[in-house]
Amino acid sequence: MTENAVQDLLTSLTGKALRGETPTREEAAALLGTADEDVLDVVAAASRVRRRFFGLRVKLNHLVNMKSGLCPEDCTYCSQRLGSTSEILKYSWITPQDAARDAGRAVQAGAKRVCLVASGRGPGDRDITRVADTVAAIKESTPDVEVCVCLGLLKPGQAERLREAGADAYNHNLNTSEEHYREICSTHTFDDRVATLKDAQGAGLSPCSGAIFGMGESDDDVIDVAFALRELDPDSVPVNFLIPFEGTPLGGRWELTPHRCLRILALFRFVFPDVEVRLAGGREIHLRGLQPLALHLANSIFLGDYLTSEGQPGAEDLEMIADAGFVVEGVEEATLPAARHDLVAVRRRGAGTDLPANT
């Protein structure tokens, strides 16, 4: 692409994002196809959108891994899958008190959202009771923190129970395009995932859904999953880059470059201009020295450790945020821009639940 064509593309994408319009498929493909030498222009253009809707704020999130490993599903990217020989900690449910203590420490370090995650196909009703107790324990000790729950596929009525227990959000990633999904998992389908996300949304939980890149997907798959997510209208979108655990079918797969990661993040900012785009797993190993540039695109990051791997220690993340000229979002500040915040509040009232003021 010529220099002028790149500038025209970026002007069009920025204008559309600022007006809340979706890019065309051709524009999305052209963005992913830009050369490495154009990446600073791409970041600069998408960062205008990020600053318009989120200023220089960075929201911090923390994962509490409530149950690890021993999963009967076969997601190829996951170290907790059936038959995985990855060297990870495997344990059954931690207690609500331990989870609340972990969450409290993260809030002290600046986390505004705590994500309660458990491995498995989906929760049983006793698991929902356990997680409901955990949500209550966290809300009692740190009432302002947002609690997101991530337990896999939900059965009828379970989303409502989580919402009644005080959970604010539900995470269930689409992970990749519908076409590519059958290559990465045989024990459940893309449609199963969509259904759970819709259930959560219908129950008044703020929907959180994103993807993982670096699993052999084509540019078309990247665009398909971005557009499929946009149709689901999530409030937050985690962008993960594959951590290729030894002992999983995707172990040893290194196909991303820092520049490709930045282009993918820029695409997500253009497709989700006023939605929380969260830099999630794999950011350190794939973006490496270019990680601070990603803060110009994402407005939210996971702090420190991820599910079964250790991220960058929290202090280094905070230093990176400050050095790059960003500020940690406070608990009293709303994450989402006013128009979207109002929309989310209306949706939740429709489901009979109020929105926490800081969402």
Residue ranges in contact with ligand SF4 by CB under 6 A: 71, 73, 75, 78, 80-81, 119, 121, 152
Least distance in Å: CB of 90 to ligand SF4? Answer: 11
Q: Which is nearer to ligand SF4, 78 or 318 (CB)?
A: 78
Least distance in Å: CB of 123 to ligand SF4? Answer: 12
Q: Which is nearer to ligand SF4, 101 or 188 (CB)?
A: 188
Q: Which is nearer to ligand SF4, 68 or 291 (CB)?
A: 68
Q: Which is nearer to ligand SF4, 211 or 293 (CB)?
A: 211
Least distance in Å: CB of 274 to ligand SF4? Answer: 28
Least distance in Å: CB of 256 to ligand SF4? Answer: 19
Least distance in Å: CB of 162 to ligand SF4? Answer: 17
Q: Which is nearer to ligand SF4, 110 or 281 (CB)?
A: 281
Least distance in Å: CB of 251 to ligand SF4? Answer: 14
Least distance in Å: CB of 138 to ligand SF4? Answer: 22
Q: Which is nearer to ligand SF4, 59 or 81 (CB)?
A: 81
Tell me the CB-side half-sphere exposure of residue 75, using CA atoms within 13 A.
25
Least distance in Å: CB of 81 to ligand SF4? Answer: 4
Give the other-Cβ count within 10 Å of 26's Cβ.
Answer: 10
Please report, as a single letter, which amino acid is at residue 301: I
Spell out a b/e string for 333-358, using b for 16 or more CB atoms within 10 Å of the CB, else e: eebbbeebbeebbebbeeeebebbeb
Q: Which is nearer to ligand SF4, 54 or 77 (CB)?
A: 77
- What residue has token string 């999305």? 28
Q: Which is nearer to ligand SF4, 82 or 315 (CB)?
A: 82
- What residue has token string 């302002």? 144
